Structure 1
């Protein structure tokens, strides 16, 4: 009898322990292990993460039936899509006293007026990262989208260029280079962007949204279209590895995408209480600053600024000046017809 009671106690405590798990669906390399360890210690819980490298990938996985995520960190246009499809839980702001730390400039965005569902986490700029020595030797510009689209430049870089494996991001870069908004929905303009991409494609090494950091760091790739936080990481990795070159990154003068990533609670999650505790925890200045110091992300949290390393705070590619900000746009969600047309063009781009 004592043995049976002991087994029952172990079983019950095991179930209780298993229930104290926060399921987080996040971008790759988008939180410090130290930050996670502190949260787990504070809440006496465990954080289990799944990862994605593109918003469309995340949305497709959820549409296919993936469930059980307590917290997700999507970009604005994906937040907009999740709200429209009624997949999110409204926030209980009484559980978020640290919401006051967020810079008002990043609240009340077009994708979630009043922040009923989302809390700003971090922001990045989609730009160009490059091997500074190689680009200088080749006499190539590093401040224009022309360098990934024009054959006169690409001829010197053939097989050494990667672009994001993201239909929205790559089309946005092409549209910006052509002088259009990243949210332009004119199909004639999309066809011009598609043709520009197809002309450049033979010179590219790959569509790559996950390993281009490593490829830049080891010198296999000399130019990459990607996120500012990834380029920061590649720069630091090359420096720490003692590479004989440096990684630079720059915002193209034509303009670029600003991605504001936010924390949202998914309806299928079983622990909204833990999710809200995590959101409030990440709004603390030191915790939020740790993310920026680790990966070089822009930070919408005013309480984080005193804890951000001075060199990062002064980096105008991470924290853009007003002049640069005027050339940045956030991607907006599309309707079903627009998505279908763009997906068809994307398939054509990938298979040709």
Structure 2
């Protein structure tokens, strides 16, 4: 039954019932209308309106639920659907909306995968150019400054050249650090645990925060895509902790879980409060969806912010994978701290 005929039928029931009552009830209307007659008519009208409103509320409830879902749906939090019950226009509308969400989530995931893949490729290209072009040029400048400082007899000029040499060396170190952030070579060569250890040490050195890390031994095998997602989420979480939380201590954990691993980053800062999610957090959600993971961001038990990413393990040999290959993570480093 379509929505039109459903509403028409509900009103027909109410009006037919009222007409039947008027025909068979011993109620008459005088001119002028008596007070008792007016009370009976107004009471009947009130009953009709209440019954009509109740029936329409029941009939239009699925549309109200659909409207609420349409205003709150977020493609980065997939899986929200309305149950489809019965047949008719409303059920078909809800079924069509659910199918549309399926298509949008699939298209969003495919588009995000292409964008993030292109982003990682561009990061690798920039990191390679920084290492090969800028790094070599600055190394050559360092050698020239050293040669000039060794040859000059002027002590004041030699001091200036030494100072320029130190400045250039610091700049070269910064370029290399940027290249490592853009393209984590440790992740590709030694695995996730070693890469997270290096990330925590580098983060603590350049921010002054205390980073405590704990990595469970015997982590399940992860393919390159999952390792990269875990690394990027840890990197973004540490960056947010340094920039926005006002924290003094950050805990970085990588633990075993049923069928996968869990990455958790906690800080003792001021927490999220009423802040809206920015591009960094939405980027983390997109990365988590690409590998079938679940990202939760909320208050930590002892205050501050907790970022928790659950990622399923890679497919076993012989099972369908995602084309990236499986490489076991490096042996866990146990519990440590970087200050």
Using the size of structure 1 for normalisation, the TM-score is 0.25
Using the size of structure 2 for normalisation, the TM-score is 0.25
Q: Which has the larger radius of gyration?
A: 2
Larger relative contact order (Cα-Cα within 8 Å, sequence gap ≥ 6): 1
More helix per residue: 2
